[in-house]
Amino acid sequence: MFHATGNESGPSTPTSTSSSSSSMQWSQLCRHFEFGEILSATESFAESLVIGRGGFGKVYKGNIYNGSTLVVAAIKRLDAMSNQGASEFWAEVEMLSKLRHCHLVSLIGYCNYETEMILVYEYMPHGTLEDHLHKLGTPLTWCERLMICIGAARGLDYLHTGTGIEFGIIHQDVKSSNILLDESWAAKVSDFGLSKISPRNQQSSHVSTLVKGTFGYFDPNYFATGKLTTKSDVYAFGVVLLEVLCRKMAVDDSLDWGIATWAQDSIKEGRLKDIIDSAIRSEISPKCLKQFVRIAERCLDNHPKLRPTMAEVVLSLEYVLKLQENTNNVSHSASKTIFGRMFNKFSFTDNGQNSGITNSQFICA
């Protein structure tokens, strides 16, 4: 959980002696925790409380007071041997202090004490999308996967255009391990250590930077030119869409190439049905599948300007979900006609295999 890679120069990186002004500014939006509070919450960083490991370090599950309320939190501690550092730490504090959205993970607070750099997040009980697709084998239905994709897309759209401030934000490390799932299985985008401010209202529409991110999700154009744009996030999200459809990792040992190249080649060769995760192959209507694949292909276009915006991706995915739900409703209606009262007498349950995702989870308070 909470993976990120790279070592990036970002916003100013306060030290323990020079961070007071920045800390005061951010403390209005998130809390500064004392190191003793962190030690108490994690039982002095007990291994039994570790719930994830990433490029940053270990993540612990702990109970900590946020004001007068005791909350369950995910506590991310920078490892001294990590290839990340203060720049990523302060970038994430600054970004998440300013942003609030139902599809972004919320930062409760932070702690910087001597060499310790610690971030305290709301706890996501269902872990990461990567876990469920590639490690746990969770039986997610096709509609559930679509709703997770829609939630993550909404979070990214908010970053790009909806923050209410004069600039947009490029995440720069979109991947399935950075899409977390809450108690209702709603998707929340996480890990903003590599995020960049996009000069949305300036003549330049990109940020020139050293290439950072995760192999398998790299925008080829960004890799070639060093020009980072919001369309680089769109490309990475296209890779996530293929992961969800095929249940293969972005870089999979069973593939000669990354999933993007493998899937696109398979589609061109007319082998689309062969690459779909067998667990959902019978669930997807042909029309729904065609539209979903079209979205993924557009996201992965080699020319950034031809890729959709995340707002367009959200609308397209919502349309795909509606198509699938209409198909399911027609199928259910036919079943009722055939079986009559038998349908109502015996409930069609999934024996606990359904994760319980509902459309209502996508309504922001």
The residue extents of the domains of the chain are: 20-122, 129-324
Does residue 160 contact residue 198 with C-beta atoms inside 8 Å? yes
B/e letters for 276-308, b = 16+ CB within 10 Å, e = fewer, are: bbeebeebbbeebbebbbebbbbbbbeebeebb
Helix (H, G, I), strand (E, B) or coil at 81: coil
Phi/psi at 121 (5° precision): -110, 165
Per-residue pLDDT at 67:
82
Per-chain mean pLDDT for the chain: 79
Per-residue pLDDT at 191:
81
Q: Average pLDDT, stretch 288-312?
A: 95
> Which band of pLDDT confidence, cut at 50, 70 and 90, is reported for residue 334?
low
- 37's tokens: 């509070």
Phi and psi based region of residue 207 (left: phi greater than 0; alpha: psi -120 to 50; beta: remaining): beta
Contacts of 333 (CB under 8 A, 6+ apart): none
Catalytic one of 173, 191, 219, 233: 173
Measured in whole angstroms, the distance separating CA 65 from the mean position of its chain's CA atoms is 26
Domain 129-324 has CATH 1.10.510.10: yes
Domain 20-122 has CATH 3.50.50.100: no
Per-residue pLDDT at 176:
95
Is 76 annotated to bind ligand? Answer: yes
For residue 258, which of 279, 273, 238, 272 has the smallest C-alpha distance? Answer: 238
> Which band of pLDDT confidence, cut at 50, 70 and 90, is reported for residue 20?
very low
Choose the weakest-confidence range: 2-6, 87-91, 160-164: 2-6
31-32 and 107-113 as β-strands: parallel, antiparallel, unpaired? parallel
To 10 degrees, what angle do helices 286-299 and 310-339 make? 170
To 10 degrees, what angle do helices 310-339 and 230-246 make? 20
**301 has catalytic annotation:** no
pLDDT digits (tens, 9 = 90+) for 214-267: 778 989 888 788 888 899 999 999 999 999 999 999 988 777 778 999 999 998
